[in-house]
Chain A
Amino acid sequence: MAAADSPSAALQRRDLCSRGIRLAGKMRSDVIDLLDTYVERQGLDASASVAAAVEGVPVAAAERWDEQTGTQRLLENLAAYRAFRALLAQMLEEQREQLGEADAALGRALAAVLLQVSAFSYHLEELLRLESHGPPSEERAACPPPPQLSLFERKLRGLGVLRELAQWAVRSARDLRQLAKPGPGSSSAPSPPESP
C-alpha cells in the first residue's frame, strides 16, 4: 500500500488499470468471436449447455464481490487467468493434435487469446507488485493435471473454458475499474453492491 502513495506509482497503476480494462474488453470481444468460430469448427451447438462448473475452470461469479479488497480482486483474477492460460494452452495443444494445420485460423485465434490472457496476467502481476504484494508463485496457482476426457468432452470443456473466460473478462474489467477509482476504498473499502 505504501507504494501506491507515490505519484508515479499511482500513475503507473492507473495506466495499468486503464490498459488492463481495454485488454479485458478486447479479450472478451475476441473470445466472443472465438466462441462462434469454436462452436462452428468443433461442430457444437451454440446453445449447448455446459456443466455449471467445469472442473479446473475458475468461476467468474463471486459472492460479496463488492466487498472484496483490491488485492483480493487482483489475486483472484491472477489465479483465474493463470488457470485459463494453462487451459487454453492445453486446448491449443489438443486443437493442433486434432486438426493439425488444417484449421490455422482457429489455432491463431486461440493463440491470440492465449497471448491476451498471458498479457492480462502480466498486468495483474504488475498491479500486485505496485500493491506491495509480490505475485504469488506460479506453482501455487498451478492447475491440477487435466483428467482423461473423450474428444467430445474435450470440445465441451473447451466451450466451457471460453465461455467462462468471456465472463472473467467482464469481471476483470470491472475489478480494474474498481481499482482505478481514486481513494483509499479502491483497494480495501467495500464498494456499492455491484454484480459482475
Chain B
Amino acid sequence: MFSGWNWVARGFYLLLNICSFEVSGGLVQSCGHIIPESPVLALGSNFTALCILNESCLDFGNIYANQIIWKIKNRVVPKEQYHEINRTVSSVTFNDTSSLATPLTCNVLADGQIEQNIYGITVTIGLPPEKPRNLSCIVYQLSKLTYPMTCTWDPGRHTFLDTQFRLKYRWPQENFPDCIPKDVNNSCTITDVQFFVNLEVWVEAANALGKAESDPLVLDPIEIVKPLSPHNLSVNSGILPTVLKLSWENRISATVMKLKFNIRYRIISDTSWMQVPPEDTASPRTSFSVQGLRPYTEYIFSIRCMKEDGVGYWSDWSEEKTGVTTEDKPSKGPPIWRIIDASRSPASWTVHLMWKALHPFEANGVILRYEVTVRANSSLSSPPEKYNVNTTNLTLKLPNGTYEVTVVAHNRVGASPPSVLLIPASNSKAPVKNVRTLPKDGKLLVAWTAPNSYVLKYVIEWCLVSNSSDCIIEWQNEPGNVQGTYLKGDIKPFKCYLITVYPLYADGQGSGQSVKAYLQQDRPSKGPTVQTKKVGKAEAVLTWNHLTVDEQNGFIRSYTIFYKTVNGNETAVTVDPSKTEYTLSSLTSDTLYTVRMMAYTDEGGRSGPDFTFTTQKFGKGEIEAIVVPVCLAFLLIVLLGVLFCFNKRDLIKKHIWPIVPDPSKSNIAQWSPQVPAKHTFSSKDQMYPEGSFTDVSVVEIEADEKKSFSEQDLKPFDLLKKEKSTSEGHSSGIGGSSCMSSPRQSVSDSDEGETTQNTSSTVQYSTVVLSGYRDQTPVQVFSRSESTQPLLDSEERSEDHAGGSDSTPRRQWYFKRNGGQDENNTDRPCFERTKQITSANEGDLLGFAQLQISGQSSQLLGLGVEKNTQEAALSDVLQSSTEGQTMRPETVEGSPPSVDEMPKSYLPQTVRQGGYMPQ
C-alpha cells in the first residue's frame, strides 16, 4: 500500500517537472511538439507526423524518442508504424488517413511506467472539392428594369470540410465581384445583368484540400430571360358573334426583347384549353382578335410571351380573363319526335309532340319561344295551324291522317331553321335491321344495319324497363348516314333498357326495331323461389316464377337447380331460362330432398331459398296394385269357403255343429246319493240300453278342506296354478269352452293324458239343487238326465282336458249354465242345446230353473269368487275326482271290466278321495 502511494507521488512529481519545465520564463512549455500542427488531410491519403522532443527534457526527465508512444484518441498506434529518427524525433506513418481520428497524441513512458502526454494535434480529414457540373443560368424578369440572373450547379460529392462556392462572371475586359451563395452550395443569384454582351460564368469550389472550377458558361443574358407575362389583359366583344378581341400590356421593353405570344382560351364550362395558332401571334403585339368562337358563349383567356426568336424561356401564363360573345340566330331547329296514342278513339289520334331544347352552342342565345306548325297533307287547301309555346312539348288531338309538323326556335336575334316531322298513318316503311347494343366506355352504343332506302335520319327511342315505374320514353335523333350512336342520357348500370330504332324517310317513317340491353350486368339480386308442384316416388315437379326485371340485373342466361338429400352430394341441373317448371327424376323414394335454384346472368348467379320436400314411399298405383289383388283374393277365398261350407254343410254340421239333444227334454231319473242303491241298474239299462252313462257329480268343497289335502296332493296344484295364470286369457266361460275346444286345450288334454269319460258316450246329467224353495228345507236333489248327448261327452272331456287351473272353474261354470243361472251369449248355443235336449222334461226343468235363479244366484256368485282364490285347489280336487273316476275304479271297486261293464249307479269318487259327503 505504501509502495503504491509512493509510485503515485513520484509520477505526480515527474508530471510537475515536465509541465512546469522552464517556468521561470513565465510560460509553460511542453517537452515537445508534433509536426504538422492540426493538419487537414485528404481521405485515403498517407500521412506522417513527427514528434520532436525538446533537448532540455532529455536531460531533465531522461525522456528520449524511443520512449514515445503514439495514440489516436485512446488507442495506441501499433509500434510498427513508429520510426525513431534520432534520440529526439519519432515519426509515425499512416498509409490510409481513414484510420485516423482526433486527437493524435505523442506520449512517453516516464520512468518506463507512467505514461505522460507530450503533445497532441487535431487531424481533420476530408475531400477536395469536385469540379462543379451542370452549371445553368436563367434571368428572371422581376420588373421592367430588374433582371436578376440565377445560376445553379451540381456541387459534387460531400467533402466533409468547409467548402466555399463562388459564382464568378466577367466580361472579356471587365471582372465583376463574385456571387457567393447564401445558405446553399448549389445556386447563386446575380442581382443585375447587362444584356447584349457575352458574359462568362463559372463556379469555383474551394476548401482546405484544394480548389475546383466548373466549365465556363459563355452567354448573352438576353438569351436566357424568362420575361414577366403580359398584364392588364382585357377581353372585348367584337362586332361579330364569333369574335373576341384581347388587349394587354407587355412588361419588357421592345428595345430589350421582341416578344412572341401564346394565347389560350376555353369555354368556361370546359376544362380543356384551346390555343390560338402560334404562328398568328409570333410577332410583337399588344392585342389580338380571337375568331371562330361560338356565339353567346363565355370564354376564358390567358396569354404568355417569350423572346421572339424562341431563345430563352416562356413567361408564366397571365391572369385569366373572361369574355362573352354576342348572340346569333339558333343554328339548327330542335330535334322533334312524337308519341301517338290511338287507343282513345278510332277516328283520331292523340299526338304528343316532343322536342328537345337546343344545346347552348346551337341555341346561340336565349330561346324565347317555339313556333309549332301542323299541316295536314291530305287537305292542302286548309291553312296550317300554328302554336307558339314556351315548353318543349305539345299535345294535339288530330283526326287520322298524315301531317307535317314543323318546329322553329326563336331567340332575340332570329329564328332557327325548321325541324320537320312527318306523322304517318302507319309505320309502313322499311325498318332497320339487326339492332344491337354494346356497352363501351361507360356508355351504351346502339348500332343497326341501315335499310336499303335513303334514310333522312334515325330516331332512337329508349326507356328504362322496371316493375316499379312506367316506361318513360326518352329519345334522340341521329343523322341518316350513321349506323350507330351512343345513347345520350343517364344510362344506369344493372337496369334493363328497351331501345327502339326508327328510320325516318323523306316521305314517312319505318317501323321501329327494338332490343333490350344493359349498360352493365350484375348478378341477380335474388334467386328464384322454387317449390314443388307435384311429388312422386322417384320424381318431383318443381315450379318457380321468373325474376322480375328489377331483380334480374342482367339477362338471365340459365337457371341451375341444385338438389340433394340430407347426406348426399348436391346434384345440379341446368335449365333453360324460359322455363318455369322442371321435373326432377330418378329420385329416391321416401327421402327428404333439399332443393334450391340459382339464376345466372353473364356476371354470375344468385341462389334462391332452400325448399325441402319428401318423395313418396309408394308410387302412383302401387298401393292399388297391392290392395286390390289382396282384397280380391280374400273375397275369392271367402266365397270359396262359403261355397265349400254350403256344399258340405251337412258334414260340417255333423262335425262342428252337431245337433245337440236338449237335456231338458231328456228323461232323467231322480236319484239321491244317499240312496244309490235304490237305483236299479237294470232300469237304467232299460232306458238306455245302447250306451253307458257316466255319472256326473257336482262337488262342493269347503275352503277349509284344502287344509286337509296332503302336501303330495298340493304339488300338482302349484304347477297348475302357474299354468292357470297364463291360460286365463283363453278361458271364455263355460259356453265358449264347451262349444269350441281350443287346440291348446286339446294339448293340455293330451298332456293330462287321462280322462274319466273317454270311454263313455253317454252322459248322465244331473242337477244339484242347493237350496230349498221358499224357506223349505233344501233338499239335495240330483236331477238326472237320460240324454245320451255326445257333445257333452266331448265337451266335458275338453273341459277336463283344458287342464291346469281352467278345468275346475269351467266345470263349475258349466254347471251354473246348466242350471240356467247365467245366460251369456257365448253360452247360448250350449244353453239352447241343453234346452233342446231337456225339452222332454220341461216341466221339471222349469221348476229347477226357478229354484236356481231365486235361491242360488248369490251363493253361486259367492262361490265363484271363492273359486277364484281357491280354484287351484279345486282344480286339483276335481282333477283328482276325475282321476278317481277314471283311474281308481279298480281300487274302489276292484276291477271294473270295461266301460260297458261299469256299474250304472253313480258314486262320485271324490267322496272317497276328498272326503266328499253329499249334502
Contact = CB atoms under 8 A, between A and B. Distances in A.
A28 B196 CA distance: 14
Given A19-B220, A29-B253, A119 B192 contact: no
A9 to B, nearest CB: 17
Contact of B174 (A30, A109, A118): A118
Interface in B151-188: 171-174
Interface in B179-214: 192, 194-197
Interface string A17-32: 0011011011011100
B253 A19 contact: no
Interface in B679-698: none
A123 B220 CA distance: 13
A33 B145 contact: yes
Contact of A112 (B173, B192, B196): B192
A116 B145 CA distance: 13
Nearest to A20: B196
Nearest to B199: A119
B174 A23 contact: no
Contact of B197 (A19, A30, A33): A19
B171 A30 contact: no
B643 interface: no
Contacts of B145: 30, 33, 109, 112
Interface residues of B, number: 15
Size bracket of the A interface: 20 to 34
A70 B220 CA distance: 25
Nearest to A111: B192
Interface string A27-67: 01110010000000000000000000000000000000000
Given A112-B192, A115-B194, A122-B197, A26 B256 contact: yes
Contact of A26 (B174, B192, B255): B255
Given A22-B196, A23-B196, A116-B194, A29 B171 contact: no
A29 B255 contact: yes
Contact of B253 (A26, A112, A116, A125): A26
Contacts of A115: 194
A144 B668 CA distance: 205
Contacts, number: 46
A133 interface: no
B172 A119 contact: no
A181 interface: no
Contacts of A119: 171, 194, 196-197
A76 to B, nearest CB: 20
A119 B172 CA distance: 10
Contacts of A20: 196
B195 A23 contact: yes
Contacts of B197: 19, 23, 119, 122-123
A108 B193 CA distance: 12
A19 B195 CA distance: 9
A188 B220 CA distance: 30
Contacts of B194: 112, 115-116, 119
B174 to A, nearest CB: 6
Nearest to B171: A122
Contacts of B196: 19-20, 22-23, 26, 119, 123
A20 B195 CA distance: 10
Q: Do most interface residues of chain A lie in helix, strand or loop, or is the interface mixed?
A: helix
Interface in B222-267: 222, 253, 255-256
Nearest to A105: B145
Interface in A95-113: 108-109, 112
Contacts of B195: 22-23, 26
A29 B256 contact: yes
Contacts of A30: 145
A112 B196 CA distance: 13
Contacts of A26: 195-196, 253, 255-256
Interface string A51-89: 000000000000000000000000000000000000000
Contacts of A29: 253, 255-256
Contacts of B171: 118-119, 122
A28 B255 contact: yes
A22 B192 contact: no
A30 B192 CA distance: 14
Contacts of A28: 255
Contacts of A109: 145
A25 B195 CA distance: 11
A122 B175 CA distance: 13
A119 B192 CA distance: 14
A109 to B, nearest CB: 8
A82 to B, nearest CB: 12
B225 to A, nearest CB: 12
Residue of A19, A26, A28 contacting most chain B CB atoms (<10 Å): A26
Nearest to A119: B197
A112 to B, nearest CB: 7
A25 B258 CA distance: 12
Interface in A109-142: 109, 112, 115-116, 118-119, 122-123, 125
Nearest to B197: A119
A28 to B, nearest CB: 7
A109 B145 CA distance: 9
A104 B253 CA distance: 22
A119 B194 CA distance: 8
B238 to A, nearest CB: 34
A115 B196 CA distance: 11
A103 to B, nearest CB: 15
Contacts of B192: 108, 112
B257 to A, nearest CB: 9
Given A19-B197, A115-B194, A122-B173, A25 B220 contact: no
B27 to A, nearest CB: 49
A23 to B, nearest CB: 4
A115 B171 CA distance: 10
Given A26-B195, A26-B253, A112-B192, 4 more contacts: A19-B220, A26-B256, A112-B194, A122-B172
16 contacts: A22-B195, A22-B222, A25-B255, A26-B195, A26-B256, A28-B255, A29-B253, A29-B255, A29-B256, A109-B145, A112-B194, A115-B194, A118-B171, A119-B171, A122-B174, A123-B197
Q: Which 5 A-B pairs have the closest CB atoms?
A: A23-B196, A119-B197, A25-B255, A19-B196, A29-B255
